[in-house]
Amino acid sequence: MTGFTGLISNRFNQHVVIDQLAALKDLCCSEKAVKLSNGGDYVVKYPLIADQGEIAVAIKVFKPQSWWKDKYDHKNKSKAERSFHAARFLQDNGINTPVPIAWLERWDGTRLMESYYLCIFEPGTSFRDALSDIYYNQRNNAPLIDLLHIVAPAIRAMHDAGFMHGDMGNQNILLPRSETGAWLQPQFIDLNRAKYSSEPLTIKQRAFDLARIALPGAYLKIFKTIYNNHQDFPADFESLEQKARKRFWGHRRSVKWRHPIRHWKNKKRAASKPVYPPIQDIWLWDEKSAQPMIVPSRQEKHAYRKWRYLFSMVWQGVCAAPGIYRRYQQLLTQSYTTPIEMKGRIGIALHPHPDYTETELQLLEQLGNPPVLIRFCHHETATEWNRTIALVKQLRSKGLEVMLAVLQDRQALLQPDSWKQFLTLIIESLGDQVAHIEITHASNRLKWGIWSSDEYRQLMVPALELQQRFPHIRLVGPACIDFEYLPVIAALDTHPKTQPLAALSHLLYVDRRGAPEATQGRQFSTLEKSALLKALAQWSDRCSDKVIVSEVNWPVKHAGIWSPIGCPYETPKWRRDEPGENDDDYANYMLRYYLITLCSGHIEQVFWWRLSAHGYGLVDDRNNFMPRTAFYALAQLLRLIGTARFVRKLDTESNVYALEFDAEERKIIVAWRSDNNTSVIPASINYEKIIDRDGKELTAASISGAPIYLLGESTAMR
């Protein structure tokens, strides 16, 4: 090959190959060459003829350099030669990279005139493009987690082999697929900056490479944990990685000052949209836990958070506090003093999926067909929406009361016409058939896609416009989550006084890791939280004073990534702590939550989330829809007091609860303790029969954390 220096691997050192490569420059410009990338250094795909047949090869064409870079490469090897030997090192150590064919270059003295690196063409997608597709199109957590489980161990193996890539950007990780579409092991490309030795890399070298991986903060943390063999990332390693990351990305951001002309040219030819959406616009759904995932790190949240909204929210809370507190104090003294008709107050949420419908309807019958909550999710398809509409109509034909929860995603704000059409479909189809329609969900959690009350208002506008067309519909909200009431005040403040909400709905969880009687902030147990929420509803002129808890549950122990607190990746901490509740505590807490919130008189209705879910449901949908203890406990509660009338709370010792109900034929007292102790049934309580939590008749019992039913004499016997 006249004029060329370089090396061709033995497998391709054939006359037919050499003859073609002699005209390499013309070959790269021929009609058969397909350009795969742009820029100064670019790649073409070419069908090379070899003894073994036609082979698709990738040819990296390196651009001419400055004289001083040529001088450096003349002494220290060119990019093409470095790429070839780095690829050989990876292959020798069992690390995937496209098979190297040759490096070839033409020198004129100390000036590098032509430079090429050739390897087998491997069809695939870069890690960068795979992420972009997930963020923009799939908007799903599962494929992203799958990618991290493939890419992170591959980088770890490369580092353990003593290879530092030097330019470990997402674009330089190639992801081939199998014939079935499954991801195969990553292949590392663009190796000219690599350094390697027979010893594993130091943590400083590893940090240098990892700092170039671009992921949102929450997923970067998962990525690094997987890289570290699913163990906690060491503090010294974390510190080095953060320093390297700050230095590298700071250098990248400064390019507009260092190379203004290049930056201007790149900006002019930039694509219509960036490779990745802004952090605040990345929204990823997790089907296992039925919620979107946290995407940004805490630092990234602060960078994008609208501080004006936060300060405004605090000020609104300060102004509202005196009026709410006065009502709260009064309501607390009235707890358990008002008779309550229990019928229709205990509800359950279903999963509107065809694989669930038949079984869940059968289970619902076993519970006596209580009120049902059904979700509509904007991120789903029109097919799924119409299927859910059909389910609601089926439930209504059976005489069941239905409440709808309408969930937003980030696209609801980015594509407001789509959100409006979504709401229109639901309200036009079901507005006159359902008890309430809850608009938006957990707006005080950034992962649900709302970053301010202005964005909340934007989502409510089309719903309020539809209410003017259909004045009979009963909208509820703002459906904030947890013991955070400042966002509730801020959201209500955006509503017009002329269209108050039919009820204040809220997702009132109890820290997910404790009994309902446990206090938060030393003072607020479920009772106090409920009273404060009721006081807020009474204070506001933007909603009625009725309060609906539209979502609550406890996570189930040992549910892993199906748990709402364990998803999307089970961290070393969660593996050590094993968060969640066992079946008995889950059942006990559920019954006690229902009884406290409803019988106190502060909450109108409570919906349990959800009937069937492996990580948090009354029924284990991953175990042939096996009912858990809580399912039977709820069935027993509904059977005995589902249509009864709460009368009063008996005076008892501290930590003992005894609630009296009038059923159709007898008096029933439900008793339990809020601590881990047991005590005898007070002599002041007259009863004829004892039924345990699950419906078994007992001859004797003590009061414990599991509620028991003390049945008085039947009125038919009096």
What CATH number does the domain containing 613 carry?
3.20.20.80
Sign of CA dihedral 155, 160, 161, 166: positive
Asked whether the whole model's pTM tops 0.85, one would answer: yes
pLDDT band at 714 (very low <50, low <70, confident <90, very high): low
More confident residue, 27 or 403: 403
374 and 256 inside one domain: no
Q: What pLDDT digit, counting tens, does each position of 528-543 carry?
A: 999 999 999 999 999 9
Q: Region 382-410: what's the mean pLDDT?
A: 99
Note whether residue 336 is domain-resident.
yes
- Give the number of other Cβ atoms within 10 Å of residue 169's Cβ: 17
Q: What pLDDT digit, counting tens, does each position of 331-356 carry?
A: 999 999 999 999 999 999 999 999 99
Note whether residue 658 is domain-resident.
yes
DSSP-derived secondary structure letter, 293: P
Q: Which residues of 521-555 are buried (b: 16+ CB within 10 A; e: fewer)?
A: eeeebbbbbbbbbbbbbbbbebbbebbbbbbbbbb
97 and 200 inside one domain: no
102 and 185 inside one domain: no
- CB of 713 within 8 A of CB of 693? no
Note whether residue 566 is domain-resident.
no
β-pair type (547-549, 605-608) = parallel
More confident residue, 312 or 273: 312
Q: What are phi and psi of 531, to 5 degrees?
A: -65, -40
Tell me the residue range of the domain where 176 lies: 125-277
The confidence score (pLDDT) of residue 574 equals 86
The confidence score (pLDDT) of residue 715 equals 57
339 and 480 inside one domain: yes
The confidence score (pLDDT) of residue 252 equals 82
115 and 248 inside one domain: no
Contacts of 177 (CB under 8 A, 6+ apart): 123, 124, 125, 183, 184
DSSP-derived secondary structure letter, 166: S
Per mean pLDDT, which range of 65-79, 386-400, 487-501 is the poorest?
A: 65-79
- CB of 479 within 8 A of CB of 443? yes
Note whether residue 613 is domain-resident.
yes
112 and 181 inside one domain: no
The confidence score (pLDDT) of residue 91 equals 97
Place of tokens 């770890």: 156
Q: What pLDDT digit, counting tens, does each position of 229-256 carry?
A: 999 999 999 999 999 999 999 988 887 7
Q: What pLDDT digit, counting tens, does each position of 410-458 carry?
A: 999 999 999 999 999 999 999 999 999 999 999 999 999 999 999 999 9
What CATH number does the domain containing 689 carry?
2.60.40
412 and 351 inside one domain: yes
324 and 449 inside one domain: yes
436 and 421 inside one domain: yes
Of 75, 93, 120, the residue that ends a domain is 120
630 and 655 inside one domain: no
Note whether residue 563 is domain-resident.
no
Of 589, 614, 636, the residue that ends a domain is 636
The confidence score (pLDDT) of residue 497 equals 96
The confidence score (pLDDT) of residue 718 equals 45
Is residue 270 scored above 70 in pLDDT?
A: no
pLDDT band at 514 (very low <50, low <70, confident <90, very high): confident
The count of domains in the chain is 4
pLDDT band at 676 (very low <50, low <70, confident <90, very high): confident
Cα(466)–Cα(492) distance, integer angstroms: 18
- Give the number of other Cβ atoms within 10 Å of residue 193's Cβ: 15
Q: Region 348-370: what's the mean pLDDT?
A: 98
pLDDT band at 386 (very low <50, low <70, confident <90, very high): very high
Note whether residue 474 is domain-resident.
yes
345 and 443 inside one domain: yes
Rounded to the nearest 5 degrees, what angle is found at the Cα of 688, between the Cα atoms of 686 and 694? 110
Note whether residue 37 is domain-resident.
yes
Contacts of 648 (CB under 8 A, 6+ apart): 336, 337, 339, 659, 660
468 and 609 inside one domain: yes
Of 97, 120, 143, the residue that ends a domain is 120
| DSSP-derived secondary structure for 319-343 | HHHHHHHHHHHHHHHTTT-S-EE-T
Torsion of CA 377, 379, 384, 385, to 10 degrees: 50
Note whether residue 290 is domain-resident.
no
